[in-house]
Structure 1
């Protein structure tokens, strides 16, 4: 019997040796024609429940894990070995995030859906090291099934060598307890799949409270894939990446990853909220994304080819709409999590999640509009106005008027549909972060800028935000005009403050009070870096001293932080009740725009050259130098030609 077994084993070895093996397909189980079904999500941002938003000017009900699970269960009925993966940023976006640390609802609900693997996004760090560590601990302690978590480029070696901070140590312990790893190997039918996770460069730039250090994403994935090849026997390698794709392919992180690490079969690309309608392919590597907030569920099938690689044989983004049945048990689980929000969070503000703040008949622009259409939007207007209202109507208002309130597009997470605007909807529209008080929700801050710096802020919006659309600015108290056809850093042609409908000229050296949210202040350096420091702004105290820590200028009311979302809620509730039903009505003022950001598209010489700033002089100087060099070169050539002719004569 032993000899027969030995002979069979030898025959098997000889057979394998005769078959060409192109990595990563060296496992014995998979064969050409084998198919793997995968469903995927990313950037769900705490959107466990169905929500209503504006799509093409219409109120549309989208998303929800209960409907998503109906689709996943249907897919599992066809193939029980379906791989379910998530690309990170599963938290921070709705009221459920307020119990992030204690309930870990988002991660537990991914587990409830049967998600096999996820990774970390930048917003998982919004509640700082302590918050993320507590969330991981709560998820593990719940006893619920939770997905594996993979991220390969945390640079523990450097942090250990430098000496771990308290926050870094807390996360290291939590990662170890949860089992966070570089990669994991899953068996799906006859196919062994390695899933590696990675955290992108832009994701790190968007995580100002993250204490961890990270290795270069591409180099880390290369090394991890090499480790997988050396230590594992797998048929496929999938990467769950929180890096993103961009229109500029030279900066599109996950496309660069696909080109640099050709052994990857699939990259699930999170972070940029992109809907990739047809998979991007570089070599044999596919890059896919399904968009944000669980609006779509991605489904695909990879089929093994004769050369051992995998071809995309099916791909679809399935909209999660109201015609999909609600999975009742899933919704009950979500409801049980939501029940904790009123008592554990909203009670301290005097609200309940279903409380109606105002009735709305206005069609507001969408969050995508704020980033993609560079002009004034009523959604930005109402939020900026809310900041001014809340500060100047606070119980302990200091009497110093707000000159300007600023709302970057990247801090706004959703719009307002027509109908009742509830506390939950207001929170969801501005749902980021946590304050220095440890309470969810970014607070407002108060800083001072000179008139010259306010002009610079307008130029940042006009010139820099095209390269960083999350930095588009929407203001209350500031009106400016820009021309997109003018020279870079010289696009703004007119800037003034606006007070009760009157234009107020800016004085270069005068200090003006500015209100924004804490995250915007913390991200200011990243925006300044986009202009390579040319457009620099230094926020100050009222006495002109530069601010070194934005937490020192958090606005409080009776000793408690004034949260940005609460400011919006207060403003909504302050509107007049115009129909006599006891509920405020959003005023018709917001049905149109008011010249806060005007776009001059003229290409006339006057429009392109009027009101030049200091950079115009720089451009003129560079042009003059270039012309001078050309003249000198021409003169030199003429001189050499004359010399050559004299010699020839």
Structure 2
């Protein structure tokens, strides 16, 4: 019995030793986490059509993305799948945003853990986002969590019905400051932000957003108090070429306890991550064309460090996930029934054929110059307004398309209704249907010139402010003083001849609802130097833009003339080749609507100044006169004092 007890004691001692040793060894083992991420997906559930080396290629698509996600998860532990916002607004599926919420429901099916809100999630106003959240929640589908850490609702009497309802919808969905996920005993804190530039892009919400740095410090402090091991920020702020202006780089420097920043909003594609201190900043581009992968490792007692970073390109070689494909097909059927039938259009209907490719989407607006796609879309506005108004048509002098509303390009081959929609997909009209409508306003000739100057002077600093205009051409010299770069501007008549712009005359201008509203902000933002006030035909400032929407007839009933619909109808109007309308080669070349004059002589730089430059020159002259007078007085006093001393 004594020997048996001794044996049992020995075995127990060995087991305890093994347990303690193994636990101690395990505690010393490095820990690893794999972060899979996307951002700026913009409803591109289906593959995206593009061009590579002269051939049409298809990239992205959620069914292929799901296959890659599963491959990355296979054989790996401690994985999180996240998205940094702008998951909506980009193609025809956005028409179901408020009624069916296909974005969140399919993201849930794909296994996303967490996402955040981007500026485009507010595209359908607070009411649209409210309905979107309830629609997703009521579907009973698996959904990703949503974190929004710096959103601020109006307080007290400023709280409106729509903002209150949005607040309640966020509570019902479960939107919160942050969430904590547990992966293999590793506690991962995740929070989300809306950056300053992204907030400035929103004109359709009554909520606001706190400073990202201060909000991050507050949330990070809470997460550390909760004992998290890793902190991930889903930031819809972005990175920029200049590090001093790059919001997420600034965030990484000022809040060093953040381990990973998934950077959305600017659609940046970082083949290598940006590292600031211990923070890893990753961006994988747009539209689900890539899946970002960040692998981290932590040695006990130390901060997390980067083990691997790569982007998995989603191309045609990847097999589609059948479950996701089936879900997309179901939503596609709903799009046709609930949206496209209203406009008498079919999802995959071929509108025309292009014998050439336009500039790629990501290159539009990168340079201050005329753009052939901008020419086509703006020309299409004038054509479609003329067709819609018929015998009541009043000639449109100018049509304006800002680069920020051009969301897709056309490649050689067939162009479908889906392609036309993607090219101008943003917003919603008073009819509650997806797509901004065209509206009619009047501007003076002087204001048209101001728009040219705005384009020439401000676009180099704010590329998304660039304008493409039909009906006007101008020449500018980038070497001249800002706000004084335009040297000539003319109306361009349909026959190609030029007409002098009368500063005092009112001209009819057509643009999208969003752009027309933004034009009214040009004056205040330029400190009154470039006033632009959209007016009625009688010259009175417009307060209610909805009252000046242009309507059309579709399928036997009246509809808003949406931006995308105007483009689609213009594409259908071209002469046919083999029974299919074909885009004329006219749109394969520039038409002299923006002429760059790089002359750098003194006369070219200072000559023919506009009123802004004249005022500045007068100020400079006045300062020079004052300084000269002061110098003369001082010299005289010094001389007088010197003479007095000599006399003594």
- Cα deviation, 1:596-634, whole Å, max 9, x if unaligned, reads 111112212333233320122123223324433553565
Distance 1:643 1:540, change over 3 A: same
Q: Which residue of 2 aligns with 1:425?
A: 419
- Cα deviation, 1:373-411, whole Å, max 9, x if unaligned, reads 211111100000110000001155632111000000000
Q: Secondary structure at the match of 1:140?
A: helix
CA contact (8 A) 1:366 1:379 kept: no
Q: Which residue of 1 aligns with 2:409?
A: 415
Q: Which residue of 1 aligns with 2:363?
A: 369
Residue 229 of structure 1 and its aligned partner are, at CA, apart by: 2.4
| Counterparts of 2:27 and 2:428, CA distance in 1 | 47
Residue 451 of structure 1 and its aligned partner are, at CA, apart by: 0.1
Residue 76 of structure 1 and its aligned partner are, at CA, apart by: 0.4
| Counterparts of 2:231 and 2:248, CA distance in 1 | 15
CA contact (8 A) 1:483 1:601 kept: yes
Q: Which residue of 2 aligns with 1:564?
A: 563
Residue number among 603, 608, 612 corresponding to 1:611 in the alignment: 608
Give the TM-score normalised by the residue count of structure 2.
0.91
Q: Secondary structure at the match of 1:512?
A: strand
Distance 1:546 1:530, change over 3 A: closer
Q: Which residue of 2 aligns with 1:85?
A: 82
| Counterparts of 2:87 and 2:382, CA distance in 1 | 32
Distance 1:638 1:287, change over 3 A: farther
Q: Which residue of 2 aligns with 1:172?
A: 167
Q: Which residue of 2 aligns with 1:261?
A: 255
Residue number among 545, 549, 555 corresponding to 1:554 in the alignment: 549
Distance 1:279 1:608, change over 3 A: same
Q: Which residue of 1 aligns with 2:574?
A: 575
CA contact (8 A) 1:30 1:190 kept: no
| Counterparts of 2:296 and 2:509, CA distance in 1 | 53
| Counterparts of 1:79 and 1:217, CA distance in 2 | 33
Residue number among 473, 479, 488 corresponding to 2:482 in the alignment: 488
Q: Secondary structure at the match of 1:315?
A: strand
Are residue 479 (structure 1) and residue 473 (structure 2) matched? yes
| Counterparts of 1:68 and 1:224, CA distance in 2 | 31
CA contact (8 A) 1:45 1:94 kept: yes
Q: Which residue of 2 aligns with 1:146?
A: 143
Are residue 121 (structure 1) and residue 115 (structure 2) matched? no
Residue number among 389, 393, 408 corresponding to 1:399 in the alignment: 393
Q: Which residue of 2 aligns with 1:11?
A: none
- Cα deviation, 1:122-148, whole Å, max 9, x if unaligned, reads 111111122111111111111211110
What are the equivalent positions in structure 2 for 1:142-541 lying under 5 Å apart?
142-156=139-153, 159-230=154-225, 232-305=226-299, 307-394=301-388, 398-499=392-493, 500-525=495-520, 527-528=522-523, 530-541=525-536
Give the TM-score normalised by the residue count of structure 1.
0.91
Q: Secondary structure at the match of 1:321?
A: coil
| Counterparts of 2:369 and 2:140, CA distance in 1 | 49
| Counterparts of 1:523 and 1:454, CA distance in 2 | 15
CA contact (8 A) 1:483 1:491 kept: yes
Deviates more, 1:140-149 or 1:298-307: 298-307
What are the equivalent positions in structure 2 for 1:22-33 lying under 5 Å apart?
33=30
Residue 294 of structure 1 and its aligned partner are, at CA, apart by: 1.2
CA contact (8 A) 2:295 2:309 kept: yes
CA contact (8 A) 1:30 1:191 kept: no
- Cα deviation, 1:22-51, whole Å, max 9, x if unaligned, reads xxxxxxx98673221111100000001102
Q: Secondary structure at the match of 1:69?
A: helix
| Counterparts of 2:150 and 2:425, CA distance in 1 | 28
| Counterparts of 1:210 and 1:98, CA distance in 2 | 19
CA contact (8 A) 2:520 2:534 kept: no
Residue 111 of structure 1 and its aligned partner are, at CA, apart by: 1.2
Q: Secondary structure at the match of 1:372?
A: coil
Residue 528 of structure 1 and its aligned partner are, at CA, apart by: 4.7
| Counterparts of 2:637 and 2:67, CA distance in 1 | 81
CA contact (8 A) 2:177 2:219 kept: yes
User: Which 4+ residue blocks in structure 1 deviate beyond 6 angstroms?
Assistant: 29-32, 643-649
- Cα deviation, 1:540-599, whole Å, max 9, x if unaligned, reads 00000001122221112254211110111110111111x2x2211111111211111111
| Counterparts of 1:377 and 1:30, CA distance in 2 | 60
After superposition, the CA RMSD in angstroms is: 2.3
Q: Which residue of 2 aligns with 1:12?
A: none
Residue 78 of structure 1 and its aligned partner are, at CA, apart by: 2.8
- Cα deviation, 1:447-490, whole Å, max 9, x if unaligned, reads 10000000000001000112221111111111111111111001
- Cα deviation, 1:219-253, whole Å, max 9, x if unaligned, reads 222212222223x1100111101111222333322
Residue 647 of structure 1 and its aligned partner are, at CA, apart by: 9.4
| Counterparts of 1:137 and 1:63, CA distance in 2 | 28
Residue number among 128, 132, 135 corresponding to 2:132 in the alignment: 135
Residue 428 of structure 1 and its aligned partner are, at CA, apart by: 1.1
Are residue 45 (structure 1) and residue 42 (structure 2) matched? yes
| Counterparts of 2:296 and 2:571, CA distance in 1 | 49
| Counterparts of 2:265 and 2:436, CA distance in 1 | 20
- Cα deviation, 1:67-88, whole Å, max 9, x if unaligned, reads 1112111110031431111010
| Counterparts of 1:31 and 1:199, CA distance in 2 | 38
Distance 1:31 1:161, change over 3 A: farther
Q: Which residue of 2 aligns with 1:107?
A: 104
Distance 1:647 1:112, change over 3 A: farther
Distance 1:55 1:244, change over 3 A: farther
Distance 1:640 1:39, change over 3 A: farther
Give 5+ residue unaligned stretches, structure 2.
1-19
Distance 1:615 1:182, change over 3 A: same
Distance 1:229 1:309, change over 3 A: same
What are the equivalent positions in structure 2 for 1:593-612 lying under 5 Å apart?
593-612=590-609
Q: Which residue of 2 aligns with 1:24?
A: none
Residue 187 of structure 1 and its aligned partner are, at CA, apart by: 0.9
Q: Secondary structure at the match of 1:336?
A: helix
Count of aligned positions: 619
Q: Secondary structure at the match of 1:78?
A: coil
CA contact (8 A) 1:45 1:91 kept: yes
Q: Secondary structure at the match of 1:393?
A: helix
